[in-house]
A and B are shown apart, each in its own frame.
Chain A
Amino acid sequence: MEVLSALATGFSVAFTPLNLFLVLFGCFTGTLIGSLPGIGPINGVAILLPLAYSIGLPPESALILLAGVYYGAEYGGRISSILLNVPGDAGAIMTTLDGYPMSKRGEGGRALAISAVSSFAGSMGALLMMVIMAPLLSELAIRFGPTEYVMLMVFAFTCLATMVGSRPIKTLIGTLIGLVLATVGVDSGTGVLRFTMDIPNFFDGVDFLVVVIGVFAISEVLVLLEQWVNNDLKVTPVGKSFVTFADIVKVRWVILRSTVIGFFIGVLPGTGASIASAVAYGTEKRMAEGDSDEFGKGDIRGLAAPEAANNASAAGAMVPMLTLGIPGSGTTAILLGALLMFNITPGPLLFEQKPEIAWGLIASMFLGNIALLVLNLPLIGVFVRLLSIRQSYLIPVIVMLTFVGIYSIHGDSFDLFFMVILGIFGFILRKLHFSLAPVILGLVLGEVLEENLRRSLSMSGGDWSILLSGNITIGLAIASVLALVLPFLLKRIKGKGRTAQLQAELDD
C-alpha cells in the first residue's frame, strides 16, 4: 500500500536518535509547562519555537519537538483540570466535569490515568483514521459550508442543554452569557465596535484565557477559602488509586465512540476540541440512560469520553491544515505558523513536494503519544502529590500563576482586573448551581455561530430557508430535535417517575 510505505518513510525520519530524544524532551517539558494553570500549549510552543529555530534544527526535527511539546502541554493541562478544576484550554472544559469530582474523593491518580489512557487511545485511533482517509476527508471539510456550521452549532448546544448541570434552564442561561461575551469587540463582518465601552482592550474581543482563568481558577480560590473558613476543607486524600483493567473494559466502547465523534468534528475547520468533547459527553450520558446519575459527580465514562474526543479532534484538525493549509484550531494555527517559519507552506502539494515533512510529522505524532503514555503513567503518583501540599502553600502559588499567565498574554494589567471581576462572577454562578462549562463553550463557539449565520444569510440574500437547504443541514436539524425530545420521551416510555428525577437533581 502506498500509504504504508509513505508512513514508513515518516517513521524512518522520526526514528533517528536526535528526533527520538526531541520527542521525549518535548513531551516532558510540555507536560511541566502545561500543568501550570494559565500557561498552556501556546506558551510552551512559543518558548521552544525560537529555540528550535536558533539552534538550527532541521525543519522536521523542529516540528517533531513542537509536536512533543504540544502533546505534553495538552496532557499537562489535564493535570490542572482534574486536580485543581482549572482547565488549560477549551478542549479541557468538559474534563473538569467528572475529573475534578474524582480527584475530590481521592481518586486523582485513577482520574489522571484514565485521562492518559483515553487520550492515548483517542489520539492513536484518530491518527489511524487520518492516515487512511486524509484525502477523502479534506473533501468533507470543504463541503461543510456556512449553513452546515450553523446547524452543527445548534446541534452542539442542544446536546449541551440537556446534558450538563443541575437544570437545563441554567445551562441555557450560561450558554447565552457565553454567547454575549463572544460578541464583544470589533465585528469582523463590518468593523463596527460592539459592547467595547470604548476600552481598547476589548477591541479584539474578550480573551478566552482571561475568562477561563477568571471564571474557573479565581472562583475556585474563593470556593476553597469559604470551605476553609467553614472547616469543610478536608485535605484531599491522596490514595494510590490507579486505572484498573476493569475500568478500561468499562470505558472501551465509550472511548471508541468518542474517538470517532471527536475525529470527524475535528476535521471541520474552526470547530475542534470544545465541540467534540461536548458532543461526546452528551452522547455518552445519553447512551448511559437509566445509569447516568453519576455523570457530573465523577463517572469514569464522563471523563473518558471528552478526553478521547478532544484528542481525536486534535488529530482530526491536522487534516485540513496539512491538505488544504487551513488551520482548524488554535493549535494547528501555531503549527502552521511554525511550518511557515521554515518556509514550508502546507497545502495540496505538501505531501507531494515535502513528504519527509508531512509524513515525519504524522509519524512523530504517533511517537509523541507513545512517549507521553510511557512518561506520564509512572509520574502520575508524583502529580497527585500536588494535592497533599497544604492549602496555605498551594493557594498563593495558584494565585501567582494565574496572574503571571494572564499578564503574559498582552502585558497589560487591565486583563488582571478583568480576570478578578470574572472570578467574582464565576463564584456567584457556582453558588447558584450554574455549570461553568456552558459559559466557556458559548464564548468559544459564539463567534463561529454568528459568523456562519451571517454568511449563510449573505449568500441567500436574507432568506432563512437556506439553513435547511442541504442534506447535511437537514440531518443535523433532525438530530437536534431528537436530542431535545428524546430524553423526555424515553423517560415517559420507561415510566420513570419524573418527580424522582427532579428530586435527584435538587439533591445535586
Chain B
Amino acid sequence: MYDRIFAGALLLLSGLIAWAAAQFDVPFQYEPLGPKAFPYILSALLAVAAGWLMIRPSADDWKPTKEVVLRLGGALVLMYGYAFIYEPLGFIIATAIVGGVFSWLFGEKPIKAGVYALVMSVVSFFLLTDLLQLNVPVGTVFGG
C-alpha cells in the first residue's frame, strides 16, 4: 500500500515536472535539445517506473506504533524549530534548547539533558568559531 501511495505521488510529480518544463520561458532556441528536453525525458521515465511500482508494489512492513509516530513528529517539529530559531536566537541558546529536548527524547532525565545540552552548546560554540572558524550565528536578537 505504501508503495502504491508513493508511486501515486511520483506519478503526480512526473506530471508536475512535465507541466513546469512546458512553462519554461525559453526566449530563443539556439540548440537542438534546449532546457526542456531532459526534464521531459526524466518525467516520462519516472511515470513509467512509478506505474510499474503501482502495479507491482512490495509488501508493507512498516507498522509504527502511536508512540513512534508521536516521537517522530516531535523530533521533526524540533528540527524545524531549530532551523527557525537558529539565526535569531543564535547558536548557543538554540542548540541548548533543541539539544536538551533531543537528549530527553532519547531517554535522558530532563535536568541532566538540559545541563548536558548547555555545556555541549557553549563548548562547541567556541570550538567551532575559534578553532574551525565556521560561520556560527551569534543571534540577531542580541544585535551581535
A and B directly contacting (CB within 8 A): yes
Residues of A within 8 A of B (CB): 33, 39, 43, 47, 166-167, 169-170, 172-173, 176-177, 179-180, 183, 187, 189-190, 192-195, 218, 221-222, 224-226, 228-230, 390-393, 395-397, 399-400, 403-404, 407-408, 411, 413, 416-417, 419-420, 423-424, 427-428, 431-433, 450, 453-454, 457-458, 460-462, 506
Cross-chain contact A226 with B72 (CB below 8 angstroms): yes
Q: Give the B interface residue count (CB, 8 A).
A: 71
Cross-chain contact B135 with A407 (CB below 8 angstroms): yes
Residues of B within 8 A of A (CB): 2-3, 6, 10, 13, 17, 20-21, 24-26, 30-35, 37-39, 42, 45-46, 49-50, 52-53, 56, 58-59, 62, 64-65, 67-68, 71-72, 75-76, 79-80, 82-84, 86-87, 91, 95, 98-100, 102-108, 113, 116-117, 120-121, 124, 128, 132-137
Cα-based distance from A387 to B10 in the complex (angstroms) = 37
Which residue of chain B has the shortest Cβ distance to A455 in the bound complex? Answer: B31
Cross-chain contact B134 with A404 (CB below 8 angstroms): yes
Cα-based distance from A189 to B58 in the complex (angstroms) = 40
Which residue of chain B has the shortest Cβ distance to A424 in the bound complex? Answer: B76
Cross-chain contact B26 with A192 (CB below 8 angstroms): yes
Cross-chain contact A47 with B133 (CB below 8 angstroms): yes
Cα-based distance from A434 to B108 in the complex (angstroms) = 32
B32 CB contact (under 8 Å) in A172, A226, A462: A462
Cross-chain contact B106 with A225 (CB below 8 angstroms): yes
Cross-chain contact B32 with A395 (CB below 8 angstroms): no
CB of B80 to closest CB in A, whole Å: 6
User: Given A176-B46, A190-B26, A192-B26, A420–B105 Cβ distance below 8 Å?
Assistant: no
A167 CB contact (under 8 Å) in B31, B38, B58: B58
User: Given A225-B71, A226-B72, A392-B107, A423–B79 Cβ distance below 8 Å?
Assistant: yes
Cα-based distance from A102 to B39 in the complex (angstroms) = 38
B103 CB contact (under 8 Å) in A192, A194, A392, A408: A392
Cα-based distance from A170 to B67 in the complex (angstroms) = 29
A to B CB contacts below 8 Å, 13 in the list: A192-B24, A192-B35, A218-B79, A225-B106, A228-B107, A396-B100, A399-B82, A399-B102, A416-B83, A420-B80, A433-B58, A454-B33, A458-B32
CB of A168 to closest CB in B, whole Å: 10
Cross-chain contact A408 with B31 (CB below 8 angstroms): no
Find the residue from B6, B56, B124 having the highest chain A CB count within 10 A: B6
Cross-chain contact B42 with A192 (CB below 8 angstroms): no
When distances are taken between beta carbons in the complex, the residues of chain A under 8 Å from B132 are: 33, 39, 43, 47
CB of A412 to closest CB in B, whole Å: 9
Main secondary structure on chain B at its contact with chain A? helix
Cross-chain contact A395 with B103 (CB below 8 angstroms): yes
A222 CB contact (under 8 Å) in B72, B84, B124: B72
User: Given A33-B132, A225-B71, A396-B103, A187–B83 Cβ distance below 8 Å?
Assistant: no
CB of A475 to closest CB in B, whole Å: 24
Cross-chain contact A183 with B42 (CB below 8 angstroms): yes
When distances are taken between beta carbons in the complex, the residues of chain A under 8 Å from B34 are: 189-190, 454
Cross-chain contact A392 with B108 (CB below 8 angstroms): yes
CB of A285 to closest CB in B, whole Å: 21
CB of A187 to closest CB in B, whole Å: 4
Cross-chain contact B45 with A432 (CB below 8 angstroms): no
When distances are taken between beta carbons in the complex, the residues of chain A under 8 Å from B68 are: 226, 229-230
When distances are taken between beta carbons in the complex, the residues of chain B under 8 Å from A177 are: 46
When distances are taken between beta carbons in the complex, the residues of chain A under 8 Å from B121 are: 400
Cα-based distance from A403 to B120 in the complex (angstroms) = 14
Cross-chain contact B103 with A187 (CB below 8 angstroms): no
Cross-chain contact B46 with A392 (CB below 8 angstroms): no
When distances are taken between beta carbons in the complex, the residues of chain A under 8 Å from B128 are: 404
Cα-based distance from A366 to B80 in the complex (angstroms) = 45
User: Given A190-B34, A413-B87, A432–B124 Cβ distance below 8 Å?
Assistant: no
Cα-based distance from A16 to B20 in the complex (angstroms) = 60
Cross-chain contact A407 with B6 (CB below 8 angstroms): no
User: Given A173-B50, A450-B38, A431–B62 Cβ distance below 8 Å?
Assistant: yes
Cα-based distance from A423 to B75 in the complex (angstroms) = 11
A506 CB contact (under 8 Å) in B17, B59, B80: B59
CB of A50 to closest CB in B, whole Å: 9
Cα-based distance from A33 to B45 in the complex (angstroms) = 40
Cross-chain contact B49 with A169 (CB below 8 angstroms): yes
Find the residue from A39, A177, A225, A423 having the highest chain B CB count within 10 A: A225
Known pairs A391-B106, A432-B2 / 5 extra A-B pairs, C-beta < 8 Å: A33-B132, A194-B35, A416-B83, A454-B31, A506-B59
